[in-house]
């Protein structure tokens, strides 16, 4: 092998290495630093703690996978943070759990959250999120828990957004969702709990859940009409743990 070729291979390996190194813990770090730089942090929860002198994995609210050394959970709930949700969070590609509850995050949710393909839990309850839930949230095939209570989310409640067989817990209380509760939601076979109280749904809409075999136990009626009648019995989906609140 001549020297030129060896040198070529060496450079090639270096290039591969640098391409890989772009998508590593530094990606996670820069995503979190973007978040930090875009929010106000009056209680100084992050200001000195999220420092590049220490590893991202030791930052408050951050959990890493020990094997891959990537950020898998971010829990910055109840830290008094104010700001918008930055699109860079969509770069946390290994994230399984994103919890930003009980802060003052406002504005629209970035569509980039739909890039978080490993995400199982997305909790942004008790903030001031406005606008519609981006369609891209429907791309999250592993999402089990979506919790957005107490925001000012508007738009129709369409199944496109939650067309996920993985969804077990969906909570959107105290928002401004409108339109009808789609019948298709009765087909979400994994759904165990659904909370939709205090939205601005219109009309007398009847949703019949296949799983409500056992009686009306656990069903509450609020402003919206709910029909606990069974249609098209499918016994395998019957579970006493399924509770739906409207
Ligand atoms: C940041 O906070 C974490 C969790 O409280 C703590 O373990 C860590 O030592 C802190 N790091 C710095 C640099 O203060
Ligand atoms: C998130 O952090 C808050 C505050 O530290 C804690 O109370 C809560 O249990 C955490 N949630 C999860 C799912 O770890
Ligand atoms: C992170 O995300 C932003 C916005 O979504 C993008 O412009 C940027 O190139 C990404 N950065 C990295 C390091 O992947
Ligand atoms: C889903 O998230 C909400 C808000 O963070 C939490 O209260 C609830 O216990 C979670 N549910 C499940 C089943 O993990
Ligand atoms: C919902 O998911 C099913 C099965 O994955 C797919 O065929 C259908 O097109 C999806 N509907 C929407 C509105 O995304
Ligand atoms: C209903 O939701 C709105 C926000 O959409 C909130 O301001 C109001 O306090 C909620 N009402 C109740 C009874 O929880
Ligand atoms: C619900 O599922 C049943 C059985 O798979 C199907 O026939 C029906 O069309 C579905 N309904 C809706 C509204 O998606």
- Give the tens place of pLDDT for each residue, 11-53: 444 444 444 444 789 999 999 999 999 999 999 999 999 999 9
- Confidence check: pLDDT of 145 > 50: yes
Q: Which residues approach ligand 1 with their CB closer than 6 A? A: 49, 51, 54, 58-60
The confidence score (pLDDT) of residue 161 equals 73
Say if residues 208 and 183 touch (Cβ distance below 8 Å): yes
Q: Could you tell me the two tokens for 42? A: 């009056």
**Residue 82 scores a pLDDT above 90:** yes
For the CA of 158, the closest atom of ligand 5 is 13
What number is the average pLDDT over the span 40-69?
95
Helices (H) and strands (E) in the chain, counts: 2, 15
Query: Among 74-83, 88-97, 188-197, 231-240, where is mean pLDDT lowest?
Result: 231-240
pLDDT of residue 132: 95
pLDDT above 90 covers what percent of the chain?
51
Does residue 116 carry a pLDDT above 50?
yes
> Which amino acid residue places its CA nearest to atom 7 of ligand 3?
88
Average pLDDT for 74-102: 97
Ligand nearest to the CA of 124: 4
**Domains of the chain as residue ranges with CATH:** 27-245 (3.80.10.10)
**The pair of three-digit structure tokens given for residue 243, joined into one six-digit string:** 């509770």
Condensed to tens digits (0 to 9), the pLDDT of residues 182-218 reads: 766 666 667 777 787 788 876 444 444 443 333 333 3
List pocket residues of ligand 2, CB cut-off 6 Å: 75, 77-78, 99
Judged by average pLDDT, the poorest of 48-57, 62-71, 83-92, 201-210 is: 201-210
Q: What are phi and psi of 6, to 5 degrees?
A: -60, -45
Whose atoms come closest to the Cα of 76: which ligand?
A: 2
Atom 8 in ligand 5: residue holding the nearest Cα: 163
SS (H, E, C) 123-151: ECCCCEEEECCCHHHHHCCCCCEEECCCC
How remote is the CA of residue 19 from the centroid of ligand 2, in Å?
A: 35
59 CA → ligand 3 middle, Å: 21
Indicate which atom in ligand 6 lies nearest the CA of residue 176. Answer: 5
Q: Report which protein residue has its CA nearest ligand 1's atom 14.
A: 49
204, two tokens: 């007398």
Q: Higher pLDDT residue, 126 or 181?
A: 126
Q: Which ligand is nearest to the CA of 169?
A: 4
In the prediction, which pLDDT does 12 show?
47
């Amino acid at each position: 092998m001549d020297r030129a070729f060896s040198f070529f291979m060496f450079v090639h390996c270096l290039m591969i290495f640098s391409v890989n190194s772009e998508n590593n813990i530094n990606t996670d770090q820069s995503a979190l630093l973007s978040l930090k730089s875009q929010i106000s942090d009056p209680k100084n929860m992050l200001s000195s703690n999220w420092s590049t002198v220490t590893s991202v994995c030791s930052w408050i609210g951050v959990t890493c996978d020990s094997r891959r050394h990537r950020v898998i959970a971010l829990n910055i709930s109840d830290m008094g943070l104010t700001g918008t949700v930055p699109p860079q969070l969509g770069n946390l590609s290994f994230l399984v759990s994103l919890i930003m509850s009980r802060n003052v995050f406002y504005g629209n949710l970035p569509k980039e959250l739909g890039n978080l393909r490993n995400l199982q839990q997305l909790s942004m309850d008790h903030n001031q999120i406005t606008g519609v839930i981006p369609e891209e949230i429907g791309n999250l095939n592993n999402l089990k828990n979506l919790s957005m209570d107490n925001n000012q989310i508007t738009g129709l409640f369409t199944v496109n957004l939650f067309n996920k067989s993985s969804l077990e817990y969906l909570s959107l209380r105290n928002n401004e969702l409108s339109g009808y509760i789609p019948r298709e939601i009765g087909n979400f076979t994994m759904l165990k709990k659904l909370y939709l109280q205090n939205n601005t749904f219109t009309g007398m809409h009847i949703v019949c859940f296949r799983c409500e075999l056992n009686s009306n136990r656990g069903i509450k009626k609020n402003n919206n009409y709910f029909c606990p009648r069974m249609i098209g019995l499918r016994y395998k989906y019957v579970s006493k743990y399924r509770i739906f609140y409207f």
